[in-house]
Structure 1
Amino acid sequence: MLSYQHAYHAGNMADVHKHAILAWILEYMTRKDKPLTYMETHAGRGLYDVTDEMAAKTGEAAQGIAIARKWFAANHPYAVALDKVHADHGPNAYPGSPMVAAHVLRPSDPLFLTELHPQEFGHLRENMKPHAAICQQRDGWEMALSQCPPDPRRGMLLIDPSFEVKTDYETIPDTIRKINRKWSVGVIALWYPILTDAPHLPMTRALKRNHPDALCHEVHFPPARAGHRMVGSGMFVINPSYGLEEEGKWLSNQFRKLL
């Protein structure tokens, strides 16, 4: 399905959760003087305006990053990325995960970004030109299965589907197991929404059975508006970086302030 556009949701609390963890992992990985590859299966457009018509229609950024920005110290890698994007694109800009990654990684670290939606892909290619990202309009799952293990072999794959396709909850555990078999050393991170009817639970149970040493980090927050079904956000990370569990505990404490 190609109807999903993240511009309606950019900068919401789920983005705060996802991007804070993403930035922390990548900053930790760049501490070693070794090259790494960054890949995304569902990249979106990479850069958003939280005051445009789509964002204003939902108001999710106002209930997300506008509240959470003060949680992060100036030297936190997520805050550093936000500050760089604001310097380049203005105070109303919000980075998607490709742009967060680009501002944390080194110029020598390759970025492979996949987006199937034609309109979103056009924006992605234009927004990521300054960062020399390799952008492909193709199915992200196919990319991950065909491109793993990448070169350089050390690296991270972010899987961030819209979950518009309801069978994703059923097929994701097996697909990730296949990717992990092909690329046992890669950091593989899956983002998923926590909805009021909790369709993620069978998926996360299967993921935990398949990857008992992975880190599953979840946070909860109030719905962005009346009737909104998303009340939390999850990140399932295979081969988590040292210290990520402690970072997750700190982040959980920040989200508890909202409840």
Structure 2
Amino acid sequence: MLSYQHIYHAGNLADVQKHMLLAHVLDYLAQKDKPLTYIETHAGRGLYDLGSDEALKTAEAASGIALLEPRIRADHPYRRRLAEVRARFGARAYPGSPLIAALSLRDMDSQHLSELHPQEYEALRRNLHDFPVTFRKEDGFQRALALTPPMPRRGLLLCDPSYEVKEDYATIPRHFAAIARKWNVGILMLWYPILTSGAHEEMLAILERNHPDALRHEVRFPPVREGHRMIGSGMFVVNPPYGTEAALAEIDALFRGVV
């Protein structure tokens, strides 16, 4: 049973790390006059209302984007995407990764989004209906395997699971290895939570053995509430493009200064 809905966590500290890096990489890729492919395996609804009852129930955005955004340089691609979303959808609007990608891509590019949760999928289609996006209500890893190697071959895959299915920690390395074999030039980005239980550690050990040249980046922060098990956020990047390490250093400085 799929129950996870990101609206309860939209704009939290993990989102800031993930979306800052995503916006940077997409901006870098779009500077070259060559088409690219964007694939996302767990898209969510793409657009969130930070003033909704669900978002206010946990109030994670208050200690996330609301706290950190003023510290991000004004010309960062993430700041530009945030401004575009608010101008288009309202002051409380917050973009998920599909919308950040849709606003970053050009007419020559292609975007493929998968989402299994029925309500999230329908919301995704409504929220991004004005963009040239291919939507699929199916398993994102199976879709990614079917799409790869894509045309154009230049591009990026983002995997951002909820990890509500515990088997994800065991299966993700196999999925990543299979996709990397088929799409050896693709940039593959995986988000993962850092948990008090250490459930992520074996997955990361396997990923690092399979992809020894990948980048692993982590930020730590206090639990958002008593008993919460997430104490940090990580990004694992296969085939990181030029400038990724500098972008990650900028994120490190942001988190050191505030969190």
TM category (shorter chain) comes to over 0.9
Cα distance per residue 1:27-53 (max 9 Å; x no partner) = 011111100010100000000001101
Equivalent residues in 2 for 1:71-82 (5 A)?
A: 71-82=71-82
Instruction: Give the aligned partner of residue 237 of structure 1.
Output: 237
Q: Is the 8 A contact 1:221 1:258 kept in 2?
A: no
Amino acid at match of 1:50: L
Instruction: Give the aligned partner of residue 192 of structure 2.
Output: 192
Structure 1 segments of 4 or more deviating over 3 A?
Answer: none
Amino acid at match of 1:38: Y
Q: Is the 8 A contact 2:68 2:258 kept in 1?
A: no
Q: Is the 8 A contact 1:214 1:236 kept in 2?
A: yes
Amino acid at match of 1:250: E
How far apart, CA to CA, are the structure 1 residues paired with 2:185 and 2:55? 37
How far apart, CA to CA, are the structure 1 residues paired with 2:171 and 2:138? 18
Instruction: Give the aligned partner of residue 157 of structure 1.
Output: 157
Structure 1 residue 258, shift from structure 2 partner: 3.6
Q: Indicate the RMSD between aligned Cα atoms, in angstroms.
A: 0.9
Structure 1 residue 65, shift from structure 2 partner: 0.4
Unaligned runs of 5+ in 1: none
Structure 1 residue 257, shift from structure 2 partner: 2.5
Instruction: Give the aligned partner of residue 253 of structure 1.
Output: 253
Which moves more between the two structures, 105-114 or 38-47? 105-114
Amino acid at match of 1:153: R
Structure 1 residue 73, shift from structure 2 partner: 1.5
Structure 1 residue 161, shift from structure 2 partner: 0.5
Cα distance per residue 1:218-257 (max 9 Å; x no partner) = 1111222222211111000101011111211121121123
Asked if 1:106 corresponds to 2:106, the answer is: yes
TM-score where L is the length of structure 2: 0.98
Amino acid at match of 2:53: E
Aligned residues: 259
- Residue 242 of structure 1 aligns to a residue in which SS? coil
Structure 1 residue 198, shift from structure 2 partner: 1.9
- Residue 209 of structure 1 aligns to a residue in which SS? helix
How far apart, CA to CA, are the structure 2 residues paired with 1:157 and 1:133? 14
Equivalent residues in 2 for 1:128-139 (5 A)?
A: 128-139=128-139
How far apart, CA to CA, are the structure 2 residues paired with 1:164 and 1:27? 31
